[in-house]
Amino acid sequence: MSSAIVVGATGILGREIVLQLGKSPDKWPTIYALSRSKKGDFPPTVRQTSIDLTGSTTEMAQNLQGVTAEYVFFAAYLQKDTEQANWDVNGDMLQNFLNALETTGAASSLKRIVLVTGCKQYGVHLGPVKNPMLETDPWLRGGGDRTSFPPNFYYRQQDIVRDFCETKEVGWTVTYANDVVGFARGNFMNLATSVGIYAAVEKELGHDLVFPGSERFYSGFDSLTDAGLHARFCEWAALEPRAAGEAFNVVNGDVESWQNLWPRVAERFGMMVKPDQFVAGYGGESSSSQLADVAPLSVFAEKAGLEGRVVPGRLEQRVDLVKWSQREDVRKAWDSLTTREGLDKKAFEEATWSFLGFVLGRAYDLVVSMSKARALGWTGYKDTWTAISDVFDKLEEAKVLPKTR
């Protein structure tokens, strides 16, 4: 029997960890679910505790009186406008939370901390990366010839966890998720909700479905992470002795492309993909911009014989989704759709248009290796289209998307 604290319990990844542990009351009789808000119900073994991680260690320690567990799953996240601000706030939240566990004495019963991060580890937000991405790939730290890389809060968080655990002889494990497919309300990065609302509104407008991202990415490769599969991975990794002191990529295990997924999205909503979607004019405004001056792949250029060949990445939005979401015809279509189908109107504002535009607009491949976890016995797998379709089902139930069947 084990006990757990899940921090960020209402988020797209944290919520599934709570639900996963909650499925086995014999194994996990005590689960503390920590966040500021309470969104929806959890199984009876789950005790929801409100905490503000931006508070001081003393304030947090007061809220955490009586909260002790052997396993901590840290999946809290606050999005800020700059990478330096992300570094500051997300690092401080983790550090102060761990300090609070020390203050209350809860640190003494810890066995393992699982830190949830993502493939920004490899700079997927900065430009072309080396594919496949491997956990042994070098961190894109500043200094030397890599001074151009911005601060990466995952590096600070991993340093914090490792330092804390090493002094206390507690185990740690880190996960690197990519492009998460899951259910959440009002969070920062939500791929499935935004894709679903975009398709539903375009259908309401009587349009064929146009891929709003990059033509290059449409025919390239992506690796996605089902939030439920990631939660199963976290449970496995917390209990697997050989996963201690290790970081792992966590993706579904298939390599996908949007040229394969997009027609399925269209079919699900009873639509056609616009046959000449990348050729003919479309009412939507496009946009194009350069990403970081130095692409992460450049770190491998010399070794891989690519010197002078690595160019900065681009973000190509066939339909700029932020501009699309502000259009009057789009707003009106959502209004009439929500009124007719009894949907939750605020879901449109909660959808993360800038994030989706970024995810689909990257004009380079994202292939994430699962070899390291598999070598240690991880056999989990989820078909990516099934993952997306399952989340669409949940979004229909939650009245975010109209019934499609």
Question: Contact positions toward ligand NAP, by CB under 6 A?
Answer: 8-14, 35-37, 51-54, 75-78, 116-118, 177-180, 184, 187-189, 191
Identify the bridge partners of residue 114 per DSSP, sorted by sequence position. 73, 173
Total count of residues recorded for the chain: 405
Minimum distance of ligand NAP from residue 38's CB (angstroms): 8
As a whole number of Å, the end-to-end CA separation of the chain is: 42
- The closest residue (CB) to ligand NAP is 11
- For residues 189 and 360, which CB has a smaller minimum distance to ligand NAP in the complex? 189
Q: Which is nearer to ligand NAP, 180 or 199 (CB)?
A: 180
Q: Which is it for strands 225-226 and 180-181: parallel, antiparallel or unpaired?
A: parallel
Cβ-based nearer residue to ligand NAP, 14 or 357: 14
**CA nearest to 343, candidates 353, 333, 352, 355:** 333
Residue 73 DSSP one-character state: E
Residue 7, burial from CB neighbour count under 10 angstroms (0-12, 13-18, 19+): buried
Whose Cβ is closer to ligand NAP: residue 28's or residue 97's? 97
28-45 as b/e: b if 16+ CB within 10 A? bebbbbbbeeeeeebeeb
- For the bound state, the minimum distance from the C-beta of residue 89 to ligand NAP, rounded and expressed in Å, comes to 8
In the complex, the smallest distance separating the C-beta of residue 387 from ligand NAP, rounded to whole angstroms, is 12
- Residue closer to ligand NAP by CB (options 71, 122) is 122
**Between 83 and 393, whose beta carbon lies closer to ligand NAP?**
83
Measured from the CB atom, is 35 or 325 closer to ligand NAP? 35
CB of 176 to ligand NAP, least distance (A): 8
Q: Could you tell me the smallest distance in angstroms from the CB atom of residue 350 to ligand NAP?
A: 11
Question: Nearest approach, Cβ of 155 to ligand NAP (angstroms)?
Answer: 12
Contacts by residues 46-50 (CB-CB < 8 Å, ≥ 24 positions apart): 46/18, 46/22, 48/9
CB of 95 to ligand NAP, least distance (A): 13
